[in-house]
Amino acid sequence: MSVSIEVDGVSKHFTMQYHRTLKDMAVATARRLPLTETFKAVDDVSFTVEQGESIGLMGLNGSGKSTLLKVLNGVMRPDEGTVLTRGRIAGLIATGAGFHPQLTGRENLYLNGAILGMTEKEIDSRFDEIVEFADIGKFLETPVSHYSSGMYARLGFSIAVHVDADIFLADEVLAVGDRPFKKKCMQKMQEIRRQGTTIFYVSHATASVRAMCDRVLVLEKGRLTFDGEVDAGIRHLHDDEPAVVPGQTSEEAVDAELGSDV
């Protein structure tokens, strides 16, 4: 089996600036206070992913999950280390990323598809499937600035999953949307998985990670602290089954957890 993703010693730095005005900076300098601070959002991370693997990336908020995903996608360049990927990368790393608010849903479909590497011919051939999956009806001809967050998610996810990709990156794609749409997303991602596409899936919801993934990576403060079997990774993160509310069925408990990606 060929290697799909190879990450070797990757770190990504960001700088926080404490003072914005010249006056504040002058006062801080006089008091010998720091003006900036550099921190590592991703700190010396290494791993390899085989083609066709489904990887769950987990961690608390601020652990570096989204930053690592952006480095994998090429949106950001690592400050240290190397990232090698094989084939076309697609996915949804931010709801509505690449959408222009003044363009219609139809126009943004073509724009976003092009950003994801689709040719106009490919978009034309999949247009009806994308629109049907997004299920936004007459709003396709409306500027997306009028869309709700759920409609953004529907259209963005629908475009992403209809790209012929070797690697599919998904950052908390179930965080927005109603119950039927979340289930439809899970079914579509399972279909992509069965096709042999490498999946890199970020989520806080253990039910969806168990359903989607055969391996888990856990980040803590930018460092990779676990790489292995799914249930062991979830236990490592101290994030077990969702609590069942009195009067709530087990299916409702799972549905509630699928929506806990925020």
Predicted confidence band of residue 136 (pLDDT cuts 50, 70, 90): confident
Q: With 70 as the cut, is the pLDDT of residue 258 above it?
A: no
Q: What is the CATH number of domain 1-85+168-175+192-262?
A: 3.40.50.300
Q: Does 253 score more than 80 pLDDT?
A: no
Which pTM was predicted? 0.77
Average pLDDT, the chain: 83
pLDDT of residue 150: 80
Mapping DSSP onto H, E and C, the string for the chain reads CCEEEEEEEEEEEEEEECCCCHHHHHHHHHCCCCCEEEEEEEEEEEEEEECCCEEEEECCCCCCHHHHHHHHHCCCCCCEEEEEECCCEEEECCCCCCCCCCCEHHHHHHHHHHHCCCCHHHHHHHHHHHHHHHCCHHHHHCEHHHCCHHHHHHHHHHHHHCCCCCEEEEECCCCCCCHHHHHHHHHHHHHHHHCCCEEEEECCCHHHHHHHCCEEEEEECCEEEEEECHHHHHHHCCCCCCCCCCCCCHHHHHHHHHCCCC
Look at residue 207 in the predicted model and tell me its pLDDT.
84
pLDDT in tens, 163-206: 888 999 988 766 556 777 888 888 888 898 899 999 999 888 88
pLDDT at 120: 93
What band does 240 get if pLDDT is binned at 50, 70 and 90?
very low
Query: Is a pLDDT exceeding 50 seen at residue 83?
Result: yes
The domain ranges of the chain are 1-85+168-175+192-262, 88-165
